[in-house]
Chains A and B, each alone.
Chain A
Amino acid sequence: MSRQLTAIRHLDTDTIRALIDDAGKLKESVVSGKEIRSGKARSIGLLFFENSTRTRVSFEQAASHLGYRVVNFSGSGSSLSKGESLKDTILTLKNEGLEGLVMRHKASGSAALGASYFGGPFVSAGDGQHEHPTQALGDALTIKERLGKVEGLKIAIVGDVLHSRVARSNAWLLSKLGNEVRFVGPRSLIPAYTAKLPGEVHYDLRSGIAGADVVMCLRLQRERMEDGRLSSTGEFSRNYQINRVSMRAAHPDAIIMHPGPINRGIELDDLAADAPNSAILDQVANGVFVRMAALKWVFEGEKA
């Protein structure tokens, strides 16, 4: 059986730790210019049904450090616009000889489905509002570097939790590693039923980030105004923006994180985004190394 990384929810703690550790080692090698022994050169497909620049570039960089060849394939201008099904698209790529597949798709649950069609090494680059596993792995590496550990911490995930795959993946990962996870945001953006999500809910920003070691902002999308969940961005930022004032409730050494792209002045102000305790650019950098680790991991499964 090939290994497939579709959701943090399905990973055990040992695997999560191993992936983070390996990403750390790969980072050292890349930074020090050491040769990376990743075995055979592989060809992988990057299949993006949803627009993404950051994640796609991150996977391309990861693949290039590993010496893998990358084939890009995007939803628009492809067979998809000709009505081909997800299944046939993936079976085609598989039979064109791609050895591994990275996929992003707008439908929740499409990662596991795509992986089952592909039947080989597979890494999800995000499926709908379900999960974004490599983002969470990169965030965990960042926390570990900044705070020296990823356990026993208080983590506040702030903003549009309802629609966020980043929130879900991070909540699973961080709770599995023994951290306290809090979901913070207005009622209209927090799931009404959270019994199956690993975190406690705070509708008040102050209580939500009180004593937090990590404050993780989420991107606020314009659609949230269009669907009537918020009257304005101003309404949100008055109550939930992470800035110097609101951060006073957090632990004095707390770090600020954001999966990007940032809406400056909405969920985060300039001061917080650019502050020394902002880890946002580390997250971006580490994204490459965890994606290397993830790609290596799924291919290692093939040998076993």
Chain B
Amino acid sequence: MRTLFSKGRILDPSQEMDVVGSVLVEDGQIINVGGDIEAVDVDEVYDCTGLWIAPGLVDLHTHLREPGEERRETIKTGTQAAAAGGFTTICCMPNTSPPLDTPSLIDFILDRAASPEAGGIFVAPVGALTQGQLGERVADLGSLKKAGIVAVSDEGGPVQDSVVMMRAMETCLQLDLPILVHCEDLSLSRSGSMNDGATAAMLGLKGMPRSAEEIMIMRNCVLALNTGCRIHILRLSTWGAVEMVRQFKFLGAPVTCEVCPQYFTLTEDAVGEFNPNFKTTPPLRTQVDIDLLTQALNDGTVDCIASDHSPYAPFEVDVPFEEAPFGMAGLESAVGVTLTELTQTGILSPLETIRKLSTAPAEILRLEAGTLRPGGTPVAQITLIDSNVEWTYDVNRTFSKGKNSPFHGKELRGKAVLTYCGNEVYRDPHFHNDRYARQ
């Protein structure tokens, strides 16, 4: 069985490749890529004229909510949403109920993700850093690693005690596991619900100061510098955070970081009149922060873009702002928002856009993903992107159970239109059926 992705713009940052050409897949494996490849005995052809052919996108930061919070999302719906968003590999966060702190739970995730019902993409589980995610005692990370985790994280329950974090880093250095750190000093942010700024003051909401984020970024970077443990900072939101990461990278600390679409597009003003769909942590900040974050994406200080897909059941969000949970569903809007706000505006070139959404996140966690190089991935992972299609993001048409999006109704330009992960796992209505032919 031979499949040809024909005559598209190949964007593969892992090979610094930006050429018009084709990708040849045989029995689910990429066997040839390039501007001038010979393709004989092809069984099916995807005509990619005018489309981007990119390595399947990689998301380091997704909440699949299973086990325990199936009202918000399941592995099935979450992986379907990921496939529809153009992702072929996603990392699921450990703050489920119970948290992913034992090998059997990792087995459960991997089994569910591989079931025929699921979205047909790869799920790389992230283990809980501490037992029960209580921030007190480091979990049995060695057995979690054996079970198949790709990283550990304190996401959703940031470790406050510096000794615990230092011990965790020593353990993770030994096991060669990176830590995805949620940087928040809870003593400063507690009972806050949006950025500490003029809007919060007007609305009578307790603010979450930028210092709550920056202090913990500073602490975690210092510990990473001193222990040598690799850390990846989840969702930067402030200009100060950017400057700290820049400085620690300069000092040689093994630090990488991400931003999420909401942080380079929306400010605290978007909260408007207490709209819970705009509540997240760290909170939406200000235009100065957006300017620095986008600049840092451009200059490489920010390594990648992640969705921080945090779905909630509709009833959980239909409450007063202060009582609403933190987080936004994002898998199915991430590519559209990124292309609209960063690529179409010239902040990121098409090749750099794919680097931030695929190659860089794969490299950060050393995943077998993010490349079109033959043999570079277990099966061919390919995402076709139409960078010109204009569409409107509508939460009523998403696969995710989470309808809590700040981008509902937003007009976007650019979309993943076909996702291929060993076989076709998602075809968008914007991918015209004339483009597909069986020979």
Majority SS at the chain A contact face: loop
Residues of B with C-beta under 8 A to A131: 204
Chain A: CB-nearest residue to B271: A109
Residues of B with C-beta under 8 A to A110: 320
> Which of B196, B197, B204, B205 has the largest number of chain A CB atoms within 10 A?
B204
Does A194 count as interface, using CB distance less than 8 angstroms? yes
Does A129 count as interface, using CB distance less than 8 angstroms? yes
Q: Once bound together, how far apart are the Cα atoms of A130 and B199, in whole Å?
A: 11
Q: Once bound together, how far apart are the Cα atoms of A178 and B319, in whole Å?
A: 36
Q: Are A85 and B320 in contact (CB under 8 A)?
A: no
Q: Are B199 and A113 in contact (CB under 8 A)?
A: no
Residues of B with C-beta under 8 A to A41: none
In the complex, how many angstroms separate the beta carbon of A235 from the nearest chain B beta carbon? 22
Does A36 count as interface, using CB distance less than 8 angstroms? no
Q: Are A196 and B201 in contact (CB under 8 A)?
A: yes
Checking A86, A108, A112, A193 against B204 with a beta-carbon cut-off of 8 angstroms, the contacting residue is: A108
Q: Are B202 and A85 in contact (CB under 8 A)?
A: no
Q: Once bound together, how far apart are the Cα atoms of A196 and B201, in whole Å?
A: 7
Does B322 count as interface, using CB distance less than 8 angstroms? yes
Contact (A112, B203) CB under 8 Å given A128-B322, A192-B196, A193-B196: no
Does A67 count as interface, using CB distance less than 8 angstroms? no
Which A residues between 158 and 177 are near B, CB-CB below 8 angstroms? 162, 165, 168
Does A195 count as interface, using CB distance less than 8 angstroms? yes
Residues of B with C-beta under 8 A to A182: none
Chain B: CB-nearest residue to A129: B204
Contact (A108, B205) CB under 8 Å given A85-B315, A85-B318, A193-B196: yes
Chain B: CB-nearest residue to A49: B320
Q: Once bound together, how far apart are the Cα atoms of A241 and B35, in whole Å?
A: 79
Checking B202, B207, B273, B321 against A197 with a beta-carbon cut-off of 8 angstroms, the contacting residue is: B202
Q: Are B321 and A108 in contact (CB under 8 A)?
A: yes
Residues of B with C-beta under 8 A to A285: none
Residues of B with C-beta under 8 A to A85: 315, 318-319
In the complex, how many angstroms separate the beta carbon of B341 from the nearest chain A beta carbon? 25
Q: Are B322 and A86 in contact (CB under 8 A)?
A: no
Does A119 count as interface, using CB distance less than 8 angstroms? no
Q: Are A109 and B274 in contact (CB under 8 A)?
A: yes
Does A104 count as interface, using CB distance less than 8 angstroms? no
Q: Once bound together, how far apart are the Cα atoms of A234 and B271, in whole Å?
A: 38
Q: Are A194 and B318 in contact (CB under 8 A)?
A: no
Q: Are B197 and A109 in contact (CB under 8 A)?
A: no
Q: Are B197 and A193 in contact (CB under 8 A)?
A: yes
In the complex, how many angstroms separate the beta carbon of A159 from the nearest chain B beta carbon? 15
Q: Are B315 and A112 in contact (CB under 8 A)?
A: no
Q: Are B201 and A108 in contact (CB under 8 A)?
A: no
Per-residue interface assignment for chain A, residues 1 to 32, with 1 indicating a CB less than 8 Å from any chain B CB and 0 otherwise = 00000000100000000000000000000000
Contact (A109, B322) CB under 8 Å given A85-B315, A193-B196: yes
In the complex, how many angstroms separate the beta carbon of A59 from the nearest chain B beta carbon? 21
Q: Once bound together, how far apart are the Cα atoms of A108 and B271, in whole Å?
A: 13
Q: Are A87 and B320 in contact (CB under 8 A)?
A: no
Chain A: CB-nearest residue to B190: A227
Residues of B with C-beta under 8 A to A265: none
Checking A9, A108, A197 against B274 with a beta-carbon cut-off of 8 angstroms, the contacting residue is: A108
Residues of A with C-beta under 8 A to B274: 108-109, 112-113
Does B222 count as interface, using CB distance less than 8 angstroms? no
Chain A: CB-nearest residue to B201: A191
Checking A9, A86, A193 against B320 with a beta-carbon cut-off of 8 angstroms, the contacting residue is: A86
Q: Are B205 and A194 in contact (CB under 8 A)?
A: no
Contact (A193, B203) CB under 8 Å given A86-B320, A107-B321, A108-B321: no
Residues of A with C-beta under 8 A to B199: 196
Per-residue interface assignment for chain B, residues 202 to 220, with 1 indicating a CB less than 8 Å from any chain A CB and 0 otherwise = 1111110000000000000
Does A296 count as interface, using CB distance less than 8 angstroms? no
Q: Once bound together, how far apart are the Cα atoms of A208 and B359, in whole Å?
A: 58
Q: Are B198 and A108 in contact (CB under 8 A)?
A: no
Residues of A with C-beta under 8 A to B203: 108-109, 130
Q: Are A105 and B320 in contact (CB under 8 A)?
A: yes
Q: Are B322 and A107 in contact (CB under 8 A)?
A: yes
Does B43 count as interface, using CB distance less than 8 angstroms? no
Which A residues between 108 and 135 are near B, CB-CB below 8 angstroms? 108-110, 112-113, 127-131
In the complex, how many angstroms separate the beta carbon of B278 from the nearest chain A beta carbon? 12
In the complex, how many angstroms separate the beta carbon of B288 from the nearest chain A beta carbon? 13
Q: Once bound together, how far apart are the Cα atoms of A168 and B205, in whole Å?
A: 12
In the complex, how many angstroms separate the beta carbon of A277 from the nearest chain B beta carbon? 30
Does B69 count as interface, using CB distance less than 8 angstroms? no
Residues of B with C-beta under 8 A to A197: 198, 201-202
Q: Are B202 and A128 in contact (CB under 8 A)?
A: no
Chain A: CB-nearest residue to B205: A108
Does B411 count as interface, using CB distance less than 8 angstroms? no
Does B428 count as interface, using CB distance less than 8 angstroms? no
Q: Are B201 and A165 in contact (CB under 8 A)?
A: no
Which B residues between 299 and 327 are near A, CB-CB below 8 angstroms? 315, 318-323
Q: Are A130 and B318 in contact (CB under 8 A)?
A: no
Chain A: CB-nearest residue to B316: A85
In the complex, how many angstroms separate the beta carbon of B314 from the nearest chain A beta carbon? 11
Q: Once bound together, how far apart are the Cα atoms of A105 and B204, in whole Å?
A: 13
> Which of B196, B198, B207, B315 has the largest number of chain A CB atoms within 10 A?
B198
Residues of B with C-beta under 8 A to A109: 203-205, 273-274, 320-322
Which residues in A have some Cβ–Cβ distance to B below 8 Å? Answer: 9, 85-87, 105, 107-110, 112-113, 127-131, 162, 165, 168, 191-197
Which residues in B have some Cβ–Cβ distance to A below 8 Å? Answer: 196-207, 273-274, 315, 318-323
Listed from nearest, the 9 A-B pairs whose CB atoms lie closest are A109-B274, A129-B204, A107-B320, A191-B201, A130-B204, A196-B202, A108-B204, A195-B198, A110-B320
Please give 18 more A-B residue pairs, beta carbons under 8 A apart, in addition to A109-B321, A197-B202: A86-B319, A86-B320, A108-B274, A108-B320, A109-B205, A109-B274, A112-B273, A113-B274, A128-B322, A131-B204, A162-B201, A191-B200, A191-B201, A192-B196, A192-B207, A193-B196, A196-B199, A196-B201
